[in-house]
Amino acid sequence: MTTVGPKLSIDGLIAELKTLGNISEAEPPVVTRVVFGEADLRARAYVKQLCADAGLAVSEDAIGNTFALWEGTDPELAPIGTGSHIDAIPNAGLYDGCVGVLGGLEAIRTLKQLGFTPRRSIELVIFTAEEPTRFGIGCLGSRMMANALTPEKARNLRDKQGRTLDELRAWAGFEGSLESVAMPLGRFGGFVELHIEQGPTLEREGVDIGLVTHIAAPASLRITVDGEGGHAGATLMPGRKDALTAAAELILALEAAAKATGAIDTVATTGVCDVFPGAVNSIPSRVRLETDIRDIDGARRDRVIDSLKAACIDVESRRGVTITLEQVNADPPATCDAAILAALEDSAKAAGKSYRKMVSRAYHDSLFAARIAPGAMLFIPCRGGVSHRPDEYASPEWIGAGVQILARTLAHLAS
Ligand code: HGY
Ligand code: MN
Ligand code: MN
């Protein structure tokens, strides 16, 4: 039995994580749960029921950010928030996001079981669409809560089938004006997100808890390359305008630009490459790329973006193709709140857990929650640092330690 602090078991939490993981568009153990899809709705219903069973008041906003409130004795004070996301990219695992949502719920249940009474309310948040799969932009729910994406721009978001955010949210049952999603500064008295590290450091060093000081600055750009296409056999090589070989040059140029900064914190990936018409005997006439560029130093990341833009101009003129580039987002990095980090550090010490400070190379909803509240994150190890894969794994011991530190910290902040 894995316990949280004084003889409290998290076996129920481990079972809930497995149940949630089975709510998937793919065959378990593969987790695919794209926002506003059928599996997403079933997962939301499951988690909302767990929150209601725990005696929390559940509500949703116009795009499906979900709130589960444990009212404190002084409800006028801004609540202490915790939470994360339950949507999952294709071919993902059980723990990314879900540890922060179900672990946050477990921390609340543990505090209730121990007879703690919060002065400030404690609010569990399930952010809509942390993953960029559906609309190409990450942290949609928290981004709009922080007013970092206006309703006007949000209305223009479409998925690959051309369906708009409004169409999809209405289908999922979320009504109300997009203008109602934005929250004022101070909406939360503090925000703490529990998440798996999605990297190898904690496990490799044998450290129980990561205290996140900074969250890397993510940027995403869409590139469309238009060539001429044609018959693969009858079109001679001279004069071809092959969209895919042109795109291949851009993919390699992006990789080279990220490596050229010389900083280990600069990363760049071309994760999506759609080829049209996609027939073996037809020269590609159009290619759509989606690129992901990150760094904990925003200016250094932007220099990589500039190199990519320069490569687009060079390839376009040399190959006679037409290249259009759309910057989907280029967010600043977040600095976590020192007082909340200190509270997390005190909790780790009190629980006798080892910890270290670190940056988050993945982005999280805390990147935007930090714009409306003092916030910080705590990481637990994940096996081999693996994430965004079905073999993603966090042990009950690691999860138990994270829930215990979270519970202690929430109790401290809500007192
Ligand atoms: O891509 C990320 O960093 C996050 O897991 N969505
Ligand atoms: Mn993720
Ligand atoms: Mn995540």
pLDDT for 127-178, tens place per residue?
999 999 999 999 999 999 999 999 999 999 999 999 999 999 999 999 999 9
As a whole number, mean pLDDT of residues 87-91 equals 98
State the distance from the centre of ligand 2 to the C-alpha of 362, rounded, in angstroms: 8
Provide CB contacts within 8 A for 134, sequence distance 6+: 34, 35, 36, 37, 159, 168
Give per-residue pLDDT as tens, 253-265: 999 999 999 999 9
Q: Where in the chain is the domain with CATH 3.30.70.360?
A: 218-330
Q: Could you give the CA distance from residue 1 to residue 143 in angstroms, rounded to a whole number? A: 38
Bridge partner residues of 323 (DSSP): 225
Residue 131 Cα: closest atom of ligand 1: 6
pLDDT band at 197 (very low <50, low <70, confident <90, very high): very high
Nearest CA to ligand 1 atom 5: 362
In this model, does residue 273 exceed pLDDT 90?
A: yes
CA distance 301 to 254: 11
Torsion of the alpha carbons at 347, 105, 124 and 115, rounded to the nearest 10: -70
Closest CA relative to residue 226, chosen from 283, 281, 160, 287: 287
Calpha distance 178→182 (Å, rounded) = 8
User: Among candidates 319, 205, 325, which has minimal Cα distance to 254?
Assistant: 325
Burial 24-43 (b: 16+ CB within 10 A, else e): beeeeebbbbbbbbebbbeb
Q: Which atom of ligand 1 is nearest to the CA of 96?
A: 5
Average predicted confidence (pLDDT) for the chain: 96
Give the residues across from 272 on adjacent strands: 290
Question: pLDDT tens digits for 366-412?
Answer: 999 999 999 999 999 999 999 999 999 999 999 999 999 999 999 99
- What is the 84 CA–ligand 1 centroid distance (Å)? 12
Does domain 218-330 fall into CATH 3.90.1150.110?
no
| CATH 3.40.630.10 domain extents, the chain | 11-216+333-414
The span from the CA of 297 to the CA of 248, in Å, is 27
Q: For residue 302, report the phi and psi dihedrals to the nearest 5 degrees.
A: -65, -30
- Quick one: pLDDT band at residue 1, thresholds 50, 70, 90? very low
Ligand 1 site, residue 138, Cβ cutoff 6 A: yes
Q: Which residues pair with 67 in a beta bridge?
A: 59, 125
H or E stretch covering 69: strand 66-70
* CATH 2.60.40.10 matches 11-216+333-414: no
pLDDT band (50, 70, 90) for residue 62: very high
